[in-house]
Structure 1
């Protein structure tokens, strides 16, 4: 179920100048000193159940390879906590195992960044964070910010998949008597049914559609995001790479005909990162078997770099 640190993924150039480190020279196995902890979720099960293109189980390794040669500008440590691997269709067991590992990392003072895997990663990530916060607060004010072309709010009653994690989280919050605070940025109206938009409205989801996310609207979106975050004590950031245009992210289960460019998403992620409330982040849906020139892996690596830049 779990794989540990694999140093063969962390390879790259070594420059002769002083202070020229790259990620592959700094990433280490998990140690006691708090730091960023990269944790893979090698799963295709949710994508298969959702009738998508399988291959996301190889995403964590591809993101690590793309990260390896990026320039190092951090002050604190970064660890590789290995992978939680989904065997066959045992999705629920894998999500539970991911939750346990995320909880362990949070309890040790680390900031987990989970590398998917299909977007079923979100329910496993949330389980770990919920366990961690629930032991400390009766009703934690946790906000979920999802950059995604899809709401992933499909009814999980029949089958859970990569299309149901936030509906599952909403149900779990109701059972716990916790508020459900969810923002979905980059949603494609062409890819989400009217039923899903109605469900999002009933749940009070903050929505910004892909076609409304432009340079001219970025300031207003940032203000909306500030208001959303002001009502939260903790934040969970999740990025489905299919929010990016297909030219930037061809290697996903469902490439976006329009999408929202990395140029627009990155400053919003920096805003979330700098809020001081971010407790957990994950990325989903990288499918290396459909990637072109590692474009999607490079975009994912850039996002991890941005999230953990401090």
Structure 2
């Protein structure tokens, strides 16, 4: 039985588990791997960094907790009726992090830029500041592709950083040095810590912002279709960034700033599935899962469900193609 898998209540030979499906990590180097169809390789990279967490640390333990939860899932996404067996799942290991924030960001960007070019990356964090270097690395990895961005988060994360007091609430501002936000979307923003200036600046930059109230009024399906038109259809690749605090706290108590009025888990899962199957090329990061704050592992389970819906979306895309 693979490490991290729980004892099964029922052993069934028809069921394959994610925990037993990981490819041999010794074959991580591109030259050592057998040829596969483009898009079938899902590469998981752990980024256990929380030196920029805004309030309560602990997200450095998030990647391991998400993987443990995911190992207990089968290779069939029952909800979406999608078999994940055509995908090849590879654990690429951890990015080396240090107490030097900016050195760590450079290392993350360099690592992402050097990932095998045909793989679909899944990044497990870590605090949300890592999305800045992830995006910088993705832009270098495929400089010929126009990149769209869809973020699920309760926060704008667009504050101007103060040197020496950097935290995870700056990355949407800092990444604008290299990234054009005209094809960015922010879904779920509702944290009561901003002024109208933040909304105005975001929308002036071309970002499509939808609060939970906006989504409830317009309906999830219509909002997702609008997000796809804004960030997927005009681009060659979309990156999905999920801050787990976008979810209502009942689904994600184990995070730095739990959100009492966030989105429902199933709504985010359905949106991620639809976005992932709509794009020719896609990547995902999921951040801010803090196991020391996560009684019962609820938050890690929620994160694993979101990852599974991304996998199901990519498998559905392959089936369509």
**CA displacement at 1:218 relative to structure 2:** 1.4
Q: Which residue of 1 aligns with 2:87?
A: 76
Q: Aligned in 2, Cα 1:9/1:122: closer, same or farther, shift over 3 Å?
A: farther
Helix, strand or coil at the partner of 1:45: coil
Unaligned residue ranges in structure 1 (runs of 5+): 1-6
**CA displacement at 1:216 relative to structure 2:** 6.1
Q: Aligned in 2, Cα 1:110/1:289: closer, same or farther, shift over 3 Å?
A: same
CA distance in 1, matches of 2:3, 2:51: 24
Q: Aligned in 2, Cα 1:25/1:235: closer, same or farther, shift over 3 Å?
A: same
Q: Does 1:282 align with 2:291?
A: no
Q: Does 1:87 align with 2:98?
A: yes
Helix, strand or coil at the partner of 2:255: coil
Moved more, 79-88 or 282-291: 79-88
Helix, strand or coil at the partner of 2:128: coil
CA distance in 1, matches of 2:257, 2:181: 30
CA distance in 2, matches of 1:226, 1:181: 10
Number of equivalenced pairs:
291
Q: Does 1:233 align with 2:242?
A: no
Helix, strand or coil at the partner of 2:114: helix
CA distance in 1, matches of 2:2, 2:167: 31
**CA displacement at 1:254 relative to structure 2:** 0.6
Q: Which residue of 1 aligns with 2:135?
A: 126
**CA displacement at 1:46 relative to structure 2:** 1.1
Q: Which residue of 2 aligns with 1:37?
A: 43
Q: Which residue of 1 aligns with 2:319?
A: none
**CA displacement at 1:189 relative to structure 2:** 5.0
- The partner residue of 2:226 within 224, 227, 232 is 224
Unaligned residue ranges in structure 2 (runs of 5+): 77-83, 316-321
Whether the 8 Å CA contact 1:129–1:280 is kept in 2: the answer is no
TM-score scaled by length of structure 1: 0.87
Q: Which residue of 2 aligns with 1:102?
A: 112
**CA displacement at 1:252 relative to structure 2:** 0.6
CA distance in 1, matches of 2:258, 2:129: 17
- Once superposed, which parts of structure 1, at least 4 consecutive aligned residues long, lie more than 6 Å away? none
- The partner residue of 1:56 within 59, 78, 82 is 59
- 1:167-222 Cα offsets, whole Å, 9 max, x none, are 1111223xxxx564210000005233333222212211101102232386113202
- 1:74-116 Cα offsets, whole Å, 9 max, x none, are 212101111114222x122222222222222242x21110000
